[in-house]
Amino acid sequence: MRVIMVGCGEIVYFLARQFAGKGFRVTIVTREAHEAGVLSRKLKATVLHGDGSDPVVLDQAGARRAEVVLALTPRDQDNLAVCQIAHHMFRVPRTVALVNDPENEEIFRKLGVTVPFSATQIIAGILEERAGFEEISDLFPVAEGKVTISEVSLRPDSPVVARLVQDLEFPEGALIGGIIRSGEVIIPKGNTQLAETDRLIIISQPGCYDQVLRLLTGED
């Protein structure tokens, strides 16, 4: 997958590192000249110095072939412009924008951003325990991203519920390292049966992670 990220700061660095670890082709566009130099030395990514809402810069970043554009600057007007130009000029199918003013989340959706997200809303949601039940959490890369460890919760409708671990068609490069069930950790054996609401610790090489997720969730 080809991803373009426009923005600056730690969020861009850590996301790019994670995406690169998953085997994505990442291009970063930052306005900060110094940061561009630092990022290009630290990351397995292409880094451009420029204004990500400038059509010429987006074109140079490979927008014509990108599947996703992420706009992560601290200014809502820039994030909107990046997404709209990417979508309308370069036909980028998916655009994701950080929304700083939570009231702009709905507006961004109306103005054509595929996924607007507001950090304020997410944090408020966590505090109010309204956050959606996410299936995947704590994805983190180990050994410079050659292996990732993540936690996947099994929904009641998951196709692997009630199946034995030995019967799963797990790819070579992945395994279930542990199962968290009612607060206890189970080390799985071949005859361990999976149950709904189990949380599986998945250890996987980046290349087969998508296959594992499809297997566990039943989604494409």
Partner 1 sequence: MKPKETEKNWPQYVVVVGCGRLGSHLASKLSQAGSNVVVIDCDESAFAHLAPEFSGFCISGDAVQVEVLQKAKVSKADCLLAVTPDDNLNLMVAQVAHEVFAVPKVMARVSDTKRESVYRKFGIATVSPTRLAVDFFLGAFRKTEGNG
Binding site for partner 1 (CB under 8 A): 53-56, 75-78, 80-81, 84-85, 88-89, 101, 103-104, 107, 110-111
- Smaller CB distance to partner 1: residue 37 or 74? 74
Closest CA to 46 of 66, 31, 26: 26
Nearest approach in angstroms of CB 107 to partner 1 is: 6
- Smaller CB distance to partner 1: residue 86 or 212? 86
- Smaller CB distance to partner 1: residue 35 or 76? 76
Nearest approach in angstroms of CB 17 to partner 1 is: 28
Nearest approach in angstroms of CB 82 to partner 1 is: 9
Nearest approach in angstroms of CB 104 to partner 1 is: 7
Nearest approach in angstroms of CB 89 to partner 1 is: 5
- First and final CA of the chain: distance in angstroms? 15
- Smaller CB distance to partner 1: residue 98 or 152? 98
User: Cα angle at 65 between 104 and 91, to 5 degrees?
Assistant: 45
Helix/strand/coil percent split, the chain, to 5: 35, 30, 35
Helical spans, DSSP H, in the chain: 10-21, 33-42, 55-60, 76-90, 104-110, 119-127, 209-217
- Smaller CB distance to partner 1: residue 75 or 146? 75
Specify whether the CB–CB gap between 55 and 85 falls below 8 A. Answer: yes
